[in-house]
């Protein structure tokens, strides 16, 4: 996996936990935060933003990616990601978020998340096999 050590991953997880405090989740009350370590050394966070329609809900991971691109431009790259939730439930990134992360992460980049058996870190390619092979041209 990319050169982000365990201590940095734990700091990233803590940042994700803090971001979850801002969750807008009046419907599910599932409070999620995500934190991204960018290759430029910056950290950006996001939280889930629910909508009464449910379908328009934005996950914490995608909110963080949108924030990273908004703040640092289209060349932004993500070295590592962490997801946390205040509900203490397993919450690996959903399929949509895995695909969106793959746009900005290398396949070997680590993703930390709460799993059924505790916090787990996996390479993005383990979460989304073949994710980096999607090409439009
Ligand atoms: Zn998601």
Residue 32 confidence (pLDDT) above 90: yes
From ligand 1's centre to the CA of 77, what distance in Å?
A: 19
Q: How far apart are CA 21 and CA 47, in angstroms?
A: 8
Distance 8 CA to ligand 1 centre (A): 23
Q: Is the pLDDT of residue 128 over 80?
A: yes
**Separation of CA 20 and ligand 1 centre (Å):** 14
The rounded Å distance from CA 58 to ligand 1 centre is 7
Phi, psi dihedral angles at 46 (to 5 degrees)? -155, 165
Assign 136 a pLDDT band (cuts: 50, 70, 90): confident
Q: Does residue 1 have a pLDDT over 60? A: no
Quick: pLDDT tens for 46-59.
999 999 999 999 99
Structure tokens of 127? 């979460």
8, 10, 61, 71: the catalytic one is 61
**What's the pLDDT at 2?**
61
CATH class of the region 6-128:
alpha beta
Is 61 assigned a catalytic role? yes
Domain spans in the chain, listed from the N-terminal domain onward: 6-128
pLDDT of residue 131: 84
Q: How does the average pLDDT of the chain come out, rounded?
A: 95
């Amino acid at each position: 996996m990319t050169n982000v050590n365990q201590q940095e991953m734990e700091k990233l997880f803590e940042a994700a936990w803090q971001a979850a405090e801002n969750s807008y989740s009046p419907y599910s009350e599932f409070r999620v935060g995500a934190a991204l370590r960018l290759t430029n050394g910056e950290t950006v966070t996001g939280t889930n933003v629910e909508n009464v329609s449910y379908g328009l809900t934005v996950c914490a991971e995608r909110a963080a990616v949108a924030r990273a691109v908004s703040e640092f431009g289209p060349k932004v790259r993500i070295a590592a990601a962490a997801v946390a939730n205040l509900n203490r439930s397993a919450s690996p990134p959903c399929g949509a978020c895995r695909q969106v992360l793959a746009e900005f992460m290398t396949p070997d980049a680590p993703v930390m998340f709460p799993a059924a058996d505790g916090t787990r870190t996996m390479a993005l390619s383990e979460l989304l096999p073949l994710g980096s092979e999607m090409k439009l041209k």
